[in-house]
Amino acid sequence: MATFAIISDLHSNLEAAEAVFARIDELGVQEVVCLGDLVGYGADPLPVAALVMQRCKWAIMGNHDWGLVNSLEEFNPLARDALLYSRRQIKPSWLRPGRRPVYNFLKELPVKQADHGFKFYHGSPRDPIMEYVMKSDGFLEPEKMQQLFSYVDEPCFIGHTHWPGVHGPDFRFMQATDEQREFELDGPCIFNVGSVGQPRDGDPRACFAIVDGNRVCVERVAYDFRRTQAKILSAGLHPALAERLARGR
């Protein structure tokens, strides 16, 4: 059975992305797929997107990738300002025609994918781009989870919340930690692979997943977040976008 890596939510964080790809190479994994949100929040949207184009078998569209070329009304002020920055960095012009391949790549990303017998979304099986599947939905929103699982007849993978772990058919969320980082894919489940570029589960290390047959292992990689923070501040983005990287929040 196939072995491949899943990355998601890179958010223009080049240092985290490079550290993750280095770890994937170290593990000897040849195939990488991406669940979206290449841009937004960070200072390096263009090189991050170019790296995904170069290294990934395929990528799908996240809400920030969608926001790159669509309305920003649904985004909070920090995300909106960062996306405006991403637009300025990526949108081609007659002075910068070399940006067009990356811009077109992001604009034309599919909203979902199927591969190796699994399905892949950024947000959820019901709303692939925008809907969050929160870790608390199992007990706070059981009707929502019941509806989501009506779309799921095999293991599927998502990102978007930046919180790694898995919802099983009982709707409960099992968080991925250093102590519990390997999981068996046994029947329908919704597996969140976490975030490369902006973790929010209290662990500042970059997060991704390795699928090996019917097993998933969540990997964490330390990276030079202080360099990323300095770039964010130098770009004139909100200091909160830099500060949160140190806390993994």
In tens, the pLDDT along 44-81 reads 999 999 999 999 999 999 999 999 999 999 899 999 99
What mean pLDDT is reported for the chain?
Answer: 95
Q: Which long-range contacts (CB under 8 A, 24 or more apart) does 69-72 make?
A: 69/106, 69/107
Q: Look up tokens 């898995």; give the residue.
A: 166
Give CA separation, 110 vs 77, 93, 105, 121, 132, in Å: 26, 24, 10, 10, 18
Please check the confidence at residue 113 and state whether its pLDDT lies above 90.
Answer: yes
In angstroms, the CA 87 to CA 243 distance is 23
pLDDT value of position 18: 98
DSSP 41-109: SSS-HHHHHHHHHHH-SEE---HHHHHTTS--TTS-HHHHHHHHHHHHHHS--SS-GGGHHHHHHHHT-
Please check the confidence at residue 229 and state whether its pLDDT lies above 80.
Answer: yes
DSSP symbol at 116: T
pTM for the predicted model, two decimal places? 0.96
In angstroms, the CA 143 to CA 118 distance is 24
Cα Rg of the chain (Å, integer): 17
Over the stretch 138-191, which tens digit does the pLDDT of each residue have?
889 999 999 999 999 999 999 999 999 999 989 999 999 999 999 998 889 999
pLDDT value of position 99: 87
Show the domains of the chain with their CATH numbers. Answer: 3-247 (3.60.21.10)
How many whole angstroms from its chain centre is CA 115? Answer: 17
pLDDT band at 227 (very low <50, low <70, confident <90, very high): very high
Q: Can you tell me whether residue 173 is helix, strand or coil?
A: strand
Please check the confidence at residue 35 and state whether its pLDDT lies above 80.
Answer: yes
Report the first-to-last Cα separation within the chain, whole angstroms. Answer: 35
- Specify which residues 113 forms β-bridges with: 120
Is 24 buried (19+), middle (13-18) or exposed (0-12) by CB count in 10 A?
Answer: buried
pLDDT band at 238 (very low <50, low <70, confident <90, very high): very high
Q: Look up tokens 């009707």; give the residue.
A: 143
pLDDT value of position 98: 79
Q: Which residues contact 204 (CB under 8 A, 6 or more apart)?
A: 225, 245, 246, 247, 248
What is the average per-residue pLDDT within 200-222? 97
Over the stretch 72-108, which tens digit does the pLDDT of each residue have?
998 999 999 999 999 999 998 887 887 899 999 999 9
